[in-house]
Amino acid sequence: MVEISKATDADIEDLMAVRCEMLRIVNGLAPDYTFDDTLCGCSRDYFRTGDQTTVLARDGGRVIGCASISYIRVMPTFEHPTGKRAHLMNVYTNEAYRRQGIARKMIRLLVDEAKERGCTEISLDATEAGRPLYESTGFRENCSGMTLALRATPCRCCHATAEAARKAAAGGAQE
């Protein structure tokens, strides 16, 4: 039976393993692709010290899914008088366990926690495959936001980072 629980510091290796599994799949990388030390180190630090909650889904001792919510405080506005917001991310279920309601349960647990913490909005970045799940749990498209990339390497949504990683993993030339 699949059990869902909040991750603790003792779960750091399981957290890192399932996060890397998810990142490989989402970015179309080889199963043996190795992530750089910066991503791994910053991820470990964030799981240990960030204002976030991560839940893990386990079947016996095997981690088969995860979901995280990051808490953000911005200047209060009329629509968001507390300034407390959250960002849902890394919702992932191993392919063999999909379509069993596991991701929905993880999302519900995190949404309930965000409500308890006084958040007035939860945002997320959705893959095409994830959109139906998020829409069925009440999330709606929001076209009012914009972003400015402040890093030299473009984000995954621009495909350049993932494409370069795929080429490197395949032994191809990088641009």
Share of the chain above pLDDT 90, in %: 66
Residue 157 has pLDDT above 90, yes or no: no
Q: What is the pLDDT of residue 142?
A: 79
pLDDT in tens, 51-71: 999 999 999 989 999 999 999
pLDDT in tens, 9-40: 999 999 999 999 999 988 899 999 999 999 99
- What band does 168 get if pLDDT is binned at 50, 70 and 90? low
The predicted model gives 123-140 an average pLDDT of 90
pLDDT in tens, 93-106: 999 999 999 999 99
Residue 161 has pLDDT above 60, yes or no: no
Q: Which residues contact 160 (CB under 8 A, 6 or more apart)?
A: 153, 154
